[in-house]
A = this chain, B = another copy of it.
Amino acid sequence: MEWNNGNISFSSNFVSPPPQSSSSSALLYNYSFNCNYNLDHFPVVETTTPVATGEGEQNMAGAGVDHQKKKRLSQDQLEALERSFQEEVKLDPDRKMKLSKELGLQPRQIAVWFQNRRARWKTKQLEHLYDTLKQQFDTISKEKHNLQQEVMKLRSMLREQTTRNQGSMAHTDVSGEETTVECTSVEILSCNNYMYNVEDFNQISASAPPFWWGAEAAHLPSYP
């Protein structure tokens, strides 16, 4: 199943679309060892490690080398893990050992990957939930507006009828509801200050000085 929220991706990279064999950058993962000229303006620690004697299998078991560098699982490994995850998000010991052997990873690494994967998924989940809710809010908002229009119209018709009728029987009823319609229309306007799509939300934080870091005190919780 493609999850593809069915929307636009301004910032080309939100959750790496399971790089399923399509993107080209994927292949570089495993082979980009020390291209980090991104040293936050100081020589970085790193240098400590034994520098890793060359080796073929991912992450030695107990032998003492490597230890740093070469995080990032390979594309093949990721795909296998991903497949397994799609089948079942929880990991029983059997599957763990099987994957461990198949992929040449520590059982621990398998477990960790699944844990992180679940956590990641949960985050995405919230984003998706938000988008869905937002969409439904917009829908219902429009519908409400229509209903308000209709109420107005019906009232006016009723008023007309009443006048024509000469009889004043229903008059009190009609005016009695008046306030309801008015107050709600205000609600709608005040609400919309808070509404974003998740894409918007990503957008604003993506570029340089995300506005909300300044407006923090406005209506946001400032979260300790």
Binding site for B on A (CB under 8 A): 1-3, 5, 15, 17-18, 20, 39-45, 47-50, 59-67, 82, 86, 89-90, 92-93, 106-108, 111-112, 118, 120-130, 132-134, 136-137, 139-141, 143-144, 146-148, 150-151, 153-155, 157-158, 161-162, 164-165, 167, 170, 173-174, 177, 180-181, 184, 187-188, 191, 194-196, 198, 201, 205, 209, 212-213, 216, 220-224
In the complex the two chains form, what is the Cα distance from A191 to B195 in whole Å? 18
Q: How many copies does the complex hold?
A: 2
> CB distance A122 to B205 under 8 Å?
yes
Bound Cα distance A115, B136 (Å): 33
A48 touches B20 (CB 8 A): no
Identity of the chain B residue whose Cβ is nearest the Cβ of A61 in the assembled complex: B45
**Does B62 contact A128, Cβ atoms closer than 8 Å?**
no
**In contact, A86 and B154 (Cβ under 8 angstroms):** no
Bound Cα distance A1, B94 (Å): 9
* A-B CB contact pairs (8 Å), 13 listed: A39-B108, A41-B93, A48-B66, A121-B223, A133-B137, A136-B194, A139-B187, A143-B180, A150-B151, A150-B177, A151-B151, A161-B162, A161-B165
